[in-house]
């Protein structure tokens, strides 16, 4: 698959920072300083080549402040963006690159919200196609949404009136503090308090401080992760059942519930 209409603003190779390199420039990593302006592509990876095996991912906060040393997750998917049945307003010809699609009313999408996300034909005779979204704008508010895709040649198959379409936002955009009940993929741990709508680096590999779930007695060297029925937003805790609890790493230093321990993140990719 090729992308001939790919958005290139902010795109660069991943950053690998040598020991002793400056990290305080406005267009540099600024690891502990969230910014109001975007300096990197969302999802860009930064690695510290200093023997600690630490790596970070670039995220955009949503509409609420996020705590320091808290686990983040992607925004939960809007139910009105899923499984939208197309009718005559949603029929689109093969090879189209920019087109109107019908979407369920009551969604919370704004212009540009789907940039960097995905459109999936999840039901239909030729279902299973997945497209990278370059941009979106409203044609008819809350009913018809104009989608521009990046895929070479446009749509590989026509979208028919009987097809169902789902839209998945860029998972690195409008992120939130991980709630006590997981509603999307975990992304990484904050290094400082992150104001609403700011851009920031979150740690997703290597040793980091993170809040410990209330009431958990984590054990040094053993797995930690999201706990179903967690009592503390943004926390990690003692993993007891691998079938339901999501492992993110191992404990280096334990701490009492609601305090901060040291965890080696290994399973965030």
Task: Quote the radius of gyration of the chain (alpha carbons, Å).
Answer: 20
Q: List the structure tokens of 169.
A: 């936002």
Q: Cα dist. 119→56, 133, 145 in Å?
A: 27, 7, 12
Say how far residue 54 (Cα) sits from the centre of its chain: 19
Residues of the chain scoring pLDDT < 70:
1, 20-29, 88-89, 241-243
Q: What is the pLDDT of residue 1?
A: 57
Say how far residue 190 (Cα) sits from the centre of its chain: 14
Q: What is the pLDDT of residue 26?
A: 44
d(CA 42, CA 240): 33
- The answer for residues whose C-beta is within 8 angstroms of residue 123's C-beta and 6 or more apart is 83, 163, 164
Q: What is the pLDDT of residue 19?
A: 72
d(CA 21, CA 44): 18
Q: What is the pLDDT of residue 77?
A: 93
Q: What is the pLDDT of residue 51?
A: 87
b/e map 127-151, b = 16+ CB within 10 Å = bebebbbbbbeeeeeeeebebbbbb
Q: Which residues pair with 260 in a beta bridge?
A: 211
Q: What is the pLDDT of residue 142?
A: 85
Instruction: Report which of 209, 250, 185, 191 is spatially closest to residue 58, judged by C-alpha positions.
Output: 191
Q: What is the pLDDT of residue 28?
A: 54
d(CA 52, CA 31): 15
Q: What is the model's pTM?
A: 0.92
Q: What is the pLDDT of residue 176?
A: 98
b/e map 193-219, b = 16+ CB within 10 Å = ebeeebbbbbbbbbbbbbbbbeebebe
d(CA 83, CA 44): 29
Q: What is the pLDDT of residue 50?
A: 84
Q: List the structure tokens of 202.
A: 């979150």
């Amino acid at each position: 698959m090729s992308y001939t209409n790919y958005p290139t603003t902010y795109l660069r190779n991943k950053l690998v920072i040598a020991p002793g390199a400056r990290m305080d420039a406005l267009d540099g990593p600024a690891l502990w300083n969230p910014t109001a302006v975007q300096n990197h592509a969302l999802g860009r990876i930064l690695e510290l080549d200093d023997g600690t095996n630490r790596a970070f991912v670039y995220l955009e906060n949503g509409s609420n402040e996020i705590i320091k040393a808290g686990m983040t997750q992607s925004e939960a998917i809007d139910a009105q963006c899923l499984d939208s049945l197309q009718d005559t307003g949603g029929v689109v010809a093969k090879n189209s690159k920019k087109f109107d699609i019908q979407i369920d009313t009551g969604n919370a999408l704004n212009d540009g919200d789907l940039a960097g996300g995905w459109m999936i034909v999840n039901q239909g005779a030729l279902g299973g196609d997945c497209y990278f979204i370059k941009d979106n704008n409203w044609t008819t508010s809350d009913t018809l949404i104009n989608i521009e895709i990046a895929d070479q040649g446009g749509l590989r198959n026509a979208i028919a009136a009987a097809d169902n379409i789902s839209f998945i936002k860029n998972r690195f955009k409008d992120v939130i503090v991980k709630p006590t009940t997981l509603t999307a993929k975990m992304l990484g741990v904050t290094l400082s308090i992150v104001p609403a709508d700011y851009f920031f680096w979150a740690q997703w590999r290597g040793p980091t401080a993170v809040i410990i779930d209330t009431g958990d007695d984590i054990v040094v060297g053993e797995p930690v992760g999201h706990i179903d029925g967690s009592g503390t937003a943004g926390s990690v805790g003692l993993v007891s059942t691998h079938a339901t609890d999501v492992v993110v790493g191992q404990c280096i230093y334990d701490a009492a519930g609601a305090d901060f321990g040291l965890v080696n993140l290994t399973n965030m990719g």
